[in-house]
Chain A
Amino acid sequence: MQSLPRGHLSRYALRRILGAVPLVLGISTLLFFVVNLAPGDPASYLISPGMSAEVVERIRTSFGLDDPVPVRYLKWLGSVASGDLGQSFSQGRPVVDVLASALPATLLLSGVALVLSFMIGTVIGALQAARHRTAVDSTLSFFTLFFYSMPSFWLALMMMLVFSYAASTLWGWPIWFPASGIQGADYEALSALGKLRDRGMHLVLPAASLSLVMMGGIARFARGSMLETIRQDFIRTARAKGVPERAVLFRHALRNALIPLVTLLGLYLPILFAGTIFVEEIFAWPGMGRTVVGAIQARDYPLVMGGGLLFAALVVIGNLVADLLYAFVDPRVRYD
């Protein structure tokens, strides 16, 4: 028998964080080479035909484009490590500043969507498993598959069409939701409560679009995980000792079925961020997704690389959190 204190959580966490370093290094390498091996170097977009060779040379030097690619790579890594992501061409500000101002909006939106989609998805999946092979199960199966098959950008547009435009102008519904931005024009003039309400109203459509699409996949996974759990012996034990069916499902089955769902949490982050890119673009949500799309259209290389790096870092951090959460919900995981 093992002694009960299960190693040290903090040391475990440290080891996982160190283990993520090669991953971050790999991602930044990938990003660097994608951007730098593309035809036409970053400077070519700042160079217009009329410029003298001298000016062109100066621009190239100022971007460090005279060095060979490996040297540039090392230099870039060095500056990234010191927290310097360079200067954004299109916004004329340091990339770090641009990203820092966009990050909170993205974290708000994706955080709300993540929590909503996991809560709804898990409940639906658990319900389906509890009503396995009934009409409820197959109806919900179709419903979740429907949203699972849906592109988030289209759902976002349809939401906007129905619950914002048509609801406000065409049908005159008493409640409709704003179609763009994170706050109303009169935000600063509102009371504290009014501000909260304004933010909430602006959040509804983007968060709903994002979470509905993710909810489909999560519910499908949760259903499978629940069904797998329900077949296990300890569920039979719980029934045999007279535990009410509802408690069997929620206290024993769901609690165990949640364990693999924690892993899914880590896997879903890339999907979540893909979704934010579209949803932010559509609802003019001033977050990182919109920033990155704008940067790509403006060929703002430093901002593209910085944004990509930050997205990747968020995924890596999210996976770390999921790992720690896993160790927390599953007593069988040992920290050493």
Chain B
Amino acid sequence: MSDPLLEVRDLRTWFFRRDGLSRAVDGVSFDVAEGETVGIVGESGCGKSVTALSLLGLHPSPPGRVMEGSSVRLRGEELVGADPSRLREIRGRDVGMIFQEPAAALDPVRPVRVQVAEALVVHGRGSWRAALPRSDELLAEVGLGDVARVGRAYPHQLSGGMCQRAMIAMAVACEPALLIADEPTTALDATVQGQILDLLGGLRARRRMSMLLITHDLGVVAEMCDRVLVMYAGRIVETGTVDQLLDDPRHPYTVGLLDSLPDAGHAGGRLRPIGGSVPPSTAWPTGCRFRDRCPHAMPRCRSEPDLAVPGEGRHVRCWLAETPSGGAGA
């Protein structure tokens, strides 16, 4: 098996805040293979965005810091502690990123086509003069066909969906090998969400990109991803292929997420939201962090299980998962 494109090992990003130490990301490990789409799901506040930002050193700092012992490798090259200028080269060229609030993510005082062109210029893909026509082509590729009008427009003159398309054009301008999408459709209308996902799917196929897709929508995961990581309280609690996870969830948290889907065929379509909410990141519980919301909590949960391995490529951080027959979803 060839080396994965992205290897993340024991990533810990902590925020040293006035109100205490926030261990927003606390020991996360995963791989993304070439051409693969990996989803990260979890409620908000679980550390998904911080994970994504930390990969390229984009987390707010101060107060955030990627702690010693963390490792992020892109095609074998270590990125944690890498030279800032080297990181800058990789950003946008090897790894593109898009975000949740497309309208806020664009510079309000510059026309959209200039912002797309900038992505090309900073990576030496030609002068401004050459980059502007190329940026019009890219805008056309993401479905902003009326380029003459849209390209010269400022972000506030475009709808949210159009802004997100422009962001995508910007992120894929230099043909990155990996696209990180942090809740790309959360802020958009339902109809637009589908269009954006289609666009991403098409681009991924045409350019053979890998994708890291962050979402809290399991429907999006089912549609787009090959593999899924479930995050809770700064840690990965379960991983597996999409089919494994949706058909046979093992961690009580994953089960809870699936059960709270209104249209899940699973569990007879009954809506059973998880009780309580994610604790503040400055006060994760000790032991299993899901303990106080878990319907199956037991004395043993006061110590945290390792990411247990019940089967091929599957990992579950739960004591229940160790006994092969005793799946928590039962």
Q: Chain A residue with minimal CB distance to B101? A: A233
Interface size on A, residues (CB 8 A): 26
Q: Is the CB of B156 within 8 A of A241?
A: no
Chain B residues in 8 Å Cβ range of A133: 62
* Residue of B85, B93, B108 ringed by the most chain A CB atoms within 10 A: B108
CB neighbours of A332 from chain B (8 A): 108, 154, 156
A241 smallest CB distance to B (angstroms): 4
In the assembled complex, A228 has its CB within 8 A of some CB on chain B: no
Given contacts A2-B157, A245-B84, contact A237 B99 (CB under 8 A): yes
Question: A133 — nearest CB in chain B belongs to which residue?
Answer: B62
The listed residue (A236, A242, A256, A259) touching B93 by CB distance below 8 A is A242
Contact bitstring A225-255, B, C-beta under 8 A = 1, else 0: 0000000111011111111110100001001
Is the beta-carbon distance between B171 and A239 smaller than 8 angstroms?
no
Residues of A within 8 A of B152 (CB): 4
Chain B residues near A330 (CB-CB < 8 A): 108-109
* Bound-state Cα–Cα, A2 to B155, Å: 11
Pair B89/A242 contact, Cβ less than 8 Å: yes
A39 within 8 A of partner (CB): no
Chain B contacts with A in 168-226, Cβ cutoff 8 A? 170-171, 173
Q: Say whether B56 faces chain A, with CB atoms less than 8 Å apart.
A: yes
Does A83 count as interface, using CB distance less than 8 angstroms? Answer: no
Q: Is the CB of B153 within 8 A of A241?
A: no
Instruction: Return B317 CB to nearest CB of chain A, in Å.
Output: 30
Say whether B158 faces chain A, with CB atoms less than 8 Å apart.
yes
The one of A239, A241, A245, A252 in contact with B170, judged by C-beta atoms closer than 8 angstroms, is: A241
Of A2, A234, A240, A252, the contact of B58 (CB 8 Å cutoff) = A240
A241 touches B149 (CB 8 A): no
Knowing A133-B62, A240-B91 are in contact, say whether A1-B149 is a contact too (CB < 8 A). Answer: yes
What 0/1 pattern do residues 18 to 46 of B give for CB contact below 8 A with A? 00000000000000000000000000000
Stretch of B115-123, B259-267, B281-289, B303-311 contacting A (4+ beta carbons < 8 Å) = B115-123
Within B128-153, which residues are at the interface with A (CB < 8 Å)? 149-150, 152-153
Query: When the two chains form the complex, which single residue of B107, B154, B159 contacts A256, counting CB atoms closer than 8 Å?
Result: B107
CB distance from B74 to the nearest CB of A (A): 14
Is B88 an interface residue, CB under 8 A from the partner?
Answer: yes
Nearest to A232 among chain B residues (CB) is: B104
A17: Cβ under 8 A from any B Cβ: no
Chain A: which residue is nearest B106 at the CB level? A234
Docked pose: A259 CA to B89 CA in angstroms = 30
Contact between chains at B89 and A239 (CB < 8 Å): no
Whether B92 and A4, one on each chain, are in contact in the complex, defined by CB atoms closer than 8 angstroms, is: no
- Would you give the shortest CB distance from A145 to chain B, in whole angstroms? 23
Q: In this assembly, does A331 line the interface, its C-beta being within 8 Å of a C-beta of chain B?
A: yes
Specify which of A2, A241, A256, A331 is in contact with B119 (CB 8 Å cutoff): A241
Alpha-carbon gap, A2 to B159, bound state (A)? 11
Q: Are B157 and A242 in contact, CB atoms less than 8 angstroms apart?
A: no
- CB distance A239 to B118 under 8 Å? no
Q: A4-B149, A256-B107, A256-B109 are in contact. Are A242 and B156 (CB under 8 A)?
A: no
Which residues in A have their C-beta under 8 angstroms from that of B90? 242
Instruction: Note all chain B residues with C-beta closer than 8 A to A242.
Output: 88-93, 119, 122-123
Say which residue of A241, A244, A331 sits within 8 Å of B108 (CB atoms): A331
Q: Does B257 contact A (CB under 8 A)?
A: no
Which residue of the partner chain B has the closest CB to A332? B156
User: Considering the chains assembled together, what is the distance between the CA atoms of A252 and B119 in angstroms?
Assistant: 13
Q: Contacting B171 at CB < 8 Å: which of A1, A233, A241, A244?
A: A241
Q: Verify B156–A238 contact, CB threshold 8 A.
A: no
Bound-complex Cα distance A247 to B123 (A): 13
Instruction: Assess A237 versus B118: contact at CB under 8 Å? Given A1-B149, A1-B159, A244-B88.
Output: no
Tell me if B298 is interfacial: C-beta within 8 Å of chain A: no
A2 to B153 Cα, complex, angstroms: 9
**Smallest CB-CB separation from B170: which chain A residue?**
A241
**Interchain CA distance A329-B156 in the complex, whole Å:** 14
A1-B149, A1-B159 known; A241-B92 Cβ under 8 A = yes
11 contacts between A and B (CB under 8 A): A1-B153, A234-B106, A237-B99, A237-B106, A240-B97, A241-B119, A242-B123, A243-B92, A247-B122, A255-B109, A331-B109
The chain A residues found within 8 Å of chain B, CB to CB, are 1-2, 4, 133, 232-234, 236-245, 247, 252, 255-256, 259, 329-332
